[in-house]
Amino acid sequence: MSVLVFLDQADGHIKKSSFEAASYAAKVAELTGTTAEAIVLGIVNDDLATLGNYGIKTVHTVAEAALNNMDAQVFTNILSQAVENTSADVIVFSNNTTAKAIAPRLSVKLKAGLVSGAVALPDTSNGFTVKKTVFSGKAFAHIAVSTAKKIIALNPNSYTIVPASGSAAIAPFAATIGTAKVEVVSVNKVTGEVPLSEADIVVSGGRGLKGPENWGLVTELADLLGAATACSRPVADIHWRPHHEHVGQTGLAIAPNLYIAIGISGAIQHLAGVNRSKVIVVINKDPEAPFFKAADYGIVGDAFEVMPKIIDAVKKLKGVA
Amino acid sequence: MKILVCISKTPDTTAKIAFADNNTKFASDGVQWIINPYDEWYALVRAIELKEADPSTVLHLVNVGAADSDPIIRKALALGGDEAIRVNTENADSFYIASQIAAIAKEGSYDLVFTGKETIDYNGSSIGGMVAELLDLPYISHAVKFTVEGGNAVVVREIEGGEETDKAAFPLVVSCQKGMAEQRIPNMKGIMGARTKPLRVVEPAAADSLTSIASFELPPAKAGVKLVSAETPEELVRLLHEEAKAF
């Protein structure tokens, strides 16, 4: 028995959300009286022994350059071999686009019930039940998994990392890799930006900002705070900002520690994508904006007057001239 | 080419979310049902565009659901598509649903299966991947662009932190999201025509369920907003730093 966590990597580095998934896997292992192991595919430059600090005992590696790009079929086949090799009965992913491509396939291959979008540890008091978001963040469901093997895809920023001590053993895994049926023609990565799904702080703008030329108010604050930038649906629809920044019911659902909404009224569809944020700040000149009902802090005021003062105050706080 | 588009019935995006029967069931009274937006705006509309570009394309829709799905199936047929198949079941487990779609896809020998990237009710993002695995086909998820070039599918998909362009031979399964196509409104000709298009109801194939919903829960209500005067925005920065410890 073991709990196996899939570590997602990009450009040779383990993704931040995978450390959260690793710590979660270690806790699941503790709850079920077993050990947590990890697997990473592709060439990784990080010191994998440090996964011990997240409670991982062994990191299995398949260091093949062919695995630097994810192919859902190839990855599923390798993971199913790793599940067999480690006798894993719980498999943990961080619920990102990689996991969404692989976990459903693995669920079928292993006949393992999948909970996608988990936000809490499993409840093992009566069977095996995992809490997940449903209705695009407007509610939660407790999903009972009835199969012997279980797969949990944990939403990013849902679990607080528990520091552990130790050094993880590194175990090269001789997997049969197989051939990808999908050919990757090109990869175009946005570099230098904080990925939205993993960001601790998100600064977001809506139609209240009146035009893309005013986005400096959003990006300057985001840069100061090391935050990702986001936008409301109308803003993406009229191409003021790229589609991948759209948060809400039909865009990305996020759960940062801090969400700052500037000039966004807070329609129910937008709230659905952001209401799991720990602290919500709303800046809007309309005191009747529905977003204030969902906010923790707010300023009723004109963003064009308020934002420069906020940016100055943050600069002062951060000691930036 | 033969295309199968999977459509799911979901509550309208503005529907009030509440639960009945001791929080074990979605309270559907008075709820407006729609085609899951990802299935409609992106998967279905892109498939219709492919058929418009090549009229020899056969376009079928599949829904796994009870008779109360029929209105949204008719709406989908009003947008386009030659016929629809409904697998008559209320089972909502994703493996069970994927098994039904896989059975239909296999029987109809489709070249391309389109799904939305997720449904806005259960947010599982699972059906496309499961169908692909059941049929041992490639699966390209989170597609933002789909074209046919030289007999192959060329798909741009969202990956963590960017985009990737993929090429694959048919048959394959693709999940669709924003960027694939633009939302359409059915016209009168489409609505009239949809009434006479075939809607075939079939009984489900034997399949297992791997999960079930034990209960639902609503998020706790917020304590209320703390307003800071627009005259002193620096006070907001102080509160976020010292009280909320947000940075």
- End-to-end C-alpha distance for chain B, whole angstroms: 54
* A53 and A101 belong to one structural domain: yes
Residue A178 lies in a domain: no
Shared domain check, A217 and A139: no
Please measure the distance between the N-terminal and C-terminal CA atoms of chain A and give it in whole angstroms. 55
Per-residue model confidence as pLDDT tens digits over A59-69: 999 999 999 99
Residues A41 and A150 in one domain: yes
Residue A35 lies in a domain: yes
CB contact under 8 A, B129 and A141: no
Contact B142 A97 (CB under 8 A): yes
Chain B residue whose CA is closest to A259: B246
Shortest distance between the Cα of A36 and any Cα of chain B, in A, equals 23
CA distance A268 to chain B (A): 6
CB contact under 8 A, B37 and A250: yes
Same domain, A140 and A283: no
| Cβ separation B244–A103 shorter than 8 A | no
Mean pLDDT across the stretch A40-47? 97
Smallest Cα distance from A126 to chain B, Å: 11
For residue B220, the chain A residue with the least C-alpha distance is A139
State the pLDDT confidence band at A192, using cuts at 50, 70 and 90: low
Percent of chain B having pLDDT more than 70? 100
A298 by Cβ neighbours in 10 Å (0-12 / 13-18 / 19+) ranks as buried
Same domain, A156 and A234: no
pLDDT reading at B155 higher than 70: yes
Task: Give the β-pairing of A258-262 and A279-284.
Answer: parallel
Do the beta carbons of residue A121 and residue A132 sit within 8 Å?
A: no
CB A282 within 8 A of CB A289: yes
Q: Is residue A166 packed enough to be buried (19+ CB in 10 Å), middle (13-18) or exposed (0-12)?
A: middle
Q: Taking all residues of chain B, what is their mean pLDDT, rounded to a whole number?
A: 95
Model pLDDT, residue A191: 65
From the list A131, A119, A250, the residue with the least C-alpha distance to B23 is A131
Nearest to B138 among A114, A181, A307 (CB): A181
What pLDDT is attached to residue B25? 94
Amino acid code (one letter) for A135: F
Query: Using a CB-CB distance cutoff of 8 angstroms, which residues of chain A are in contact with residue B92?
Result: none
Residue B230 pLDDT more than 90? yes
Cα gap A231→A202, rounded to integer Å: 10
pLDDT of residue A197: 84
CATH code of the domain covering residue A12: 3.40.50.620
Question: Min CA distance, A217 vs chain B (Å)?
Answer: 14
Q: Report how far apart, in Å, the C-alpha atoms of B153 and of each of A37, A129, B148, B149, B181 are.
A: 37, 39, 5, 6, 16
Secondary structure (DSSP) of A82-142 = HHHHHTEEEEEEE-SHHHHHHHHHHHHHHT-EEEEEE-S--B-TTS-EEEEEEGGGTEEEE
Residue A285 CA: distances (Å) to CA of A264, A291, B144, B229, B237: 10, 12, 35, 12, 18
Cα gap A273→B200, rounded to integer Å: 36
What residues of A are in contact with residue B178 (Cβ under 8 Å)?
236, 243, 246, 250-251
The residue out of A137, A172, A207 marking a domain boundary is A172
CATH architecture of the domain with residue range B2-219? 3-Layer(aba) Sandwich (3.40)
Q: What is the CATH number of the domain that holds A286?
A: 3.40.50.1220
Tell me the HSE value of A16 on the side-chain side, using a 13 A CA sphere: 14
Of B126, B160, B218, the CB nearest to A104: B126
What sign does the dihedral A260-A264-A265-A270 (CA atoms) show? negative
The pLDDT value given to residue A85:
96
Which two three-digit tokens encode residue B243? 């009280």
Contacts of B113 in chain A (CB under 8 A): none
Same domain (yes/no): A255, A111: no
Residue appearing with tokens 């600090």: A53
Q: Which residues of B touch A113 (CB under 8 A)?
A: 95, 210-211
User: Which residue range(s) make up the domain with A105?
Assistant: 2-172
Q: Best interface-test mutation with B: which of A105, A154, A233 has the largest number of B CBs within 10 A?
A: A105
The reply to whether residue B165 touches residue A197, judged by beta carbons under 8 angstroms, is: no
Domain assignment present for residue A180? The answer is no
Model pLDDT for residues B68-86, shown as the tens digit of each residue: 999 999 999 999 999 999 9
> Any chain A CB within 8 A of the CB of B144?
yes
The verdict on a CB contact (< 8 Å) between B230 and A302 is yes
Domain membership of residue A283 (yes or no) is yes
Do A62 and A107 share a domain, yes or no? yes
CB proximity list for B99: less than 8 A, separation 6 or greater:
B130, B134, B205, B207, B208
Mean pLDDT of A215-244: 94
> Which residues in chain B (216-235) have CB-CB distances under 8 A to chain A?
216-219, 222-223, 225-230, 233-234
Number of domains observed in the structure of chain A: 2
Task: Give the model confidence (pLDDT) of A301-320 as tens digits.
Answer: 999 999 999 999 999 999 98
**Tens-digit pLDDT profile for residues B22-79:** 999 999 999 999 999 999 999 999 999 999 999 999 999 999 999 999 999 999 999 9
Judge whether residue A13 has pLDDT over 90: yes
Separation in Å, CA of A5 to nearest CA in chain B: 18
Interface test with A, best of B25, B101, B178 (most A CBs within 10 A): B178
Sign of CA pseudo-dihedral A95, A100, A105, A111: positive
Q: What percent of chain A has pLDDT over 70?
A: 99
Q: Which ranges constitute the DSSP H helices of A211-290?
A: 216-225, 233-237, 268-274
The answer to whether the CB atoms of A190 and B179 lie below 8 A apart is no
How much of chain A exceeds pLDDT 90, in percent?
Answer: 88
- What is the reported pLDDT for B223? 82
**Same domain, yes or no, for A75 and A152?**
yes
Shortest CB distance from A275 goes to which of B19, B125, B219? Answer: B219
Report the pLDDT averaged over residues B216-236: 92
| pLDDT score recorded for residue A244 | 86
Instruction: Report the interhelical angle of A303-318 vs A216-225 (nearest 10°).
Output: 20
